[in-house]
């Protein structure tokens, strides 16, 4: 049987003047490999080429990374806004719209969840600690794999089907979060302080977005491994 090809959107990183370019944390491709998928890192390209990239893939992971330029949801920059790379924002907004139109399975992670919401018309909190009252710490210290807070799953959802439980313990490496949810997305998980931690796009083979980093938990946590395995399996079914 053909192994599903899983595209992973790449960010930009600069290590020194000799080493700069596409970056994707290795936990993404390690988790895809652990589920028998074929990982492929996608560089930022123009709108036509990205369609060809997505056509090649059986499923797409929208990976974590820098903050999203608030220009894309019509806000001015907050004082605590982090580092930006607007070329990536533009690429991923187009990629999400195209992947949805093609019914391509997608798993959006951390920044991926945020850009998913922005691509469909939603907005973000640019900095949780200074913009939302009575929240707990969502920017944990390493190691990435360590779970630090609970997520409570709401309603009937793909995630609840996969996890077969009402709450999961997750890691948390974000200072931004969804503010206004895009009309076409459904909130399916929240933290106890009200921060949105999971959304889904209904009537699609698999379009799940999580605010935590399951790719860094698949070795230790059977539930996160099952999330990845289900995504890779659904991607395989569309081949």
- Window of 29-37, 100-108, 137-145, 179-187 that interacts with Mn ion by CB under 5 A: 137-145
CB of 216 to Mn ion, least distance (A): 13
Given the residues 110, 175, 197, 200, select the one marked as catalytic: 110
**Catalytic residue flag (residue 110):** yes
Q: In the bound complex, what is the minimum distance in angstroms from residue 205's beta carbon to Mn ion?
A: 27
Count of beta carbons in the 10 Å neighbourhood of residue 52: 9
Quote helix, strand, coil % in the chain, to nearest 5.
Answer: 30, 25, 45
Select the span of 63-71, 134-142, 178-186, 227-235 touching Mn ion (CB under 5 A). Answer: 134-142
Q: Cα(195)–Cα(159) distance, rounded to whole angstroms?
A: 17
CB 225 within 8 A of CB 34: yes
When the beta carbons of 138 and 158 are compared against Mn ion, the nearer one is: 138
Establish whether the linkage from the previous residue to 143 is cis, with ω within 30° of 0. Answer: yes
* Binding track, positions 165-184, relative to Mn ion; x by CB under 5 A: -------x------------
**3-class DSSP state of 155:** coil
- Greatest alpha-carbon pair distance for the chain in Å reads 51
Q: Provide, rounded to whole angstroms, the least separation between the CB of residue 161 and Mn ion.
A: 22
* Sole binder of Mn ion in the list 88, 138, 190, 213 (CB under 5 A): 138
Query: Measured from the CB of residue 138, what is the shortest distance to Mn ion in angstroms?
Result: 4
Residue 213 bears catalytic tag: yes
CB-side neighbour CA atoms (13 Å) of 230? 18
Instruction: Report the interface residues with Mn ion, using CB under 5 A.
Output: 138, 172
For the annotated catalytic residues, the residue numbers are 110, 213, 215
């Amino acid at each position: 049987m053909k192994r599903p090809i899983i595209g992973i959107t790449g960010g930009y990183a600069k290590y020194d003047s000799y080493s700069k370019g596409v970056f994707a944390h290795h936990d993404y491709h390690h988790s895809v490999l652990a589920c028998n998928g074929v990982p492929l890192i996608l560089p930022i390209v123009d709108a036509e080429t990205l369609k060809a990239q997505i056509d090649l893939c059986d499923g797409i992971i929208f990976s974590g990374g820098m903050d999203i330029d608030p220009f894309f949801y019509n806000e001015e920059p907050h004082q605590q806004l982090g580092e930006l790379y607007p070329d990536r924002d533009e690429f991923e907004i187009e990629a999400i719209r195209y992947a949805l139109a093609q019914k391509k399975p997608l798993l959006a992670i951390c920044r991926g969840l945020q850009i998913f919401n922005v691509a469909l018309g939603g907005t973000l909190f640019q900095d949780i600690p200074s913009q939302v009252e009575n929240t707990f710490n969502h920017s944990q210290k390493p190691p990435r794999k360590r779970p630090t807070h609970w997520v409570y799953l709401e309603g009937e959802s793909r995630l609840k089907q996969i996890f077969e439980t009402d709450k999961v313990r997750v890691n948390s490496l974000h200072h931004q979060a969804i503010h206004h949810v895009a009309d076409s997305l459904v909130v399916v998980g929240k933290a106890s302080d009200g921060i949105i931690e999971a959304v889904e796009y209904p009537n699609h083979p698999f379009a799940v977005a999580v605010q935590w980093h399951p790719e860094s938990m698949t070795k230790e946590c059977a539930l996160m491994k099952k999330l990845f395995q289900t995504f890779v399996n659904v991607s395989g079914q569309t081949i």
